[in-house]
DNA sequence: TACCGATATATACGCGAATACACAACGAAA
DNA sequence: TTTCGTTGTGTATTCGCGTATATATCGGTA
């Protein structure tokens, strides 16, 4: 059984900015309140996750994730309203493409 | 300047079957009439190209590429009507997605 | 039957990416 | 000022994958 898959992401100057990976990470940060926990949950190295957050924050006018270090509980991470808005739009877009693909089964019919 | 990119491909049992790479290769075979020339033109190793053709032929009821070895010119490669049809449908699909993305600029507006 | 150019196939190698690891820095609270 | 768990950062090592290399195979033609 053949299936059509797709992936969409945002680039800036040819470099990947936001895609499925970052999306899942930010989502996980929102749930966990901690970058290290979020990374661990999705089986990503902390370093990779940290680099990713830097990329998001440094290449946007508005920050995506606020990292706090120190304090009684060592610190934590939380996402901004801007991140929430962007995540919603990204999911909307995925949904639209997904709907389009369901209507376009011509390719599948040809492939047997 | 941020841009939305996408990629779509066909999978079977979780394994990639047909996507941008194979598409370009088959197209190149059509133009060159030779697998080695097609691979060389798109800077792909001959082995990779050959493996790719096997995958297409072995996982379809109808063959995509006919490889001929020996003969005055050593052999050659040509694509079947089935491959032509499939390529057309794949390009149609890409076009449809591309049009959809142009209409959906909400995500880009959020990302600054 | 020798030649030629392209297909066919296995094995060896090298490079970059990803990851694992180690440890320093931090700051609020007790 | 000690404790705590997280963020922050560099370094080392492993791993996967593509690629290079080598060689066999094929069959029409001259």
**pLDDT for the residue A112:** 81
Residue at B9 is within a domain: no
Q: Above pLDDT 90, what percent of chain A? A: 73
Domains in chain A: how many in total? 1
Which CATH number goes with the domain that contains B53? 1.10.10.10
pLDDT tens-place string over residues A31-87: 999 999 999 888 889 999 999 999 999 999 999 999 999 888 888 999 999 999 999
User: What average pLDDT score do residues B53-77 get?
Assistant: 89
Q: Label residue A92 by pLDDT band (50, 70, 90).
A: very high
Residue at A70 is within a domain: yes
Which helix or strand (DSSP H or E) is residue B46 part of? Answer: helix B46-58
Residue at A33 is within a domain: yes
Contact between the CB of A46 and strand D at under 7 Å: yes
Distance CA A109, CA B62 (A): 13
The answer on pLDDT for B41 being more than 90 is no
User: What average pLDDT score do residues A1-22 get?
Assistant: 89
Three-state helix/strand/coil letters over A32-60: HCCHHHHHHHCCCCHHHHHHHHHHHHHCC
User: What average pLDDT score do residues B65-73 get?
Assistant: 86
Q: With CB atoms and an 8 Å threshold, state whether A110 touches B18.
A: no
Task: Report chain D positions within 7 A of protein CB atoms.
Answer: 4-11, 18-21, 25-29
């Amino acid at each position: 059984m053949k299936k059509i898959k797709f992936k969409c992401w945002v680039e800036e100057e040819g470099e990947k900015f936001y895609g499925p990976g970052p999306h899942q990470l930010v989502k996980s940060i929102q749930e966990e309140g901690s970058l290290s926990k979020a990374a661990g949950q999705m089986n990503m190295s902390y370093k990779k996750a940290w680099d990713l957050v830097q990329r998001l924050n440094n290449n946007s006018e508005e920050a995506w994730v606020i990292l706090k270090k120190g304090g009684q509980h060592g610190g934590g991470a939380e996402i901004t309203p801007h991140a929430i808005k962007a995540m919603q739009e990204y999911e909307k877009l995925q949904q639209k493409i997904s709907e389009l693909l369901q209507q376009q089964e011509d390719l599948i019919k040809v492939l047997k």
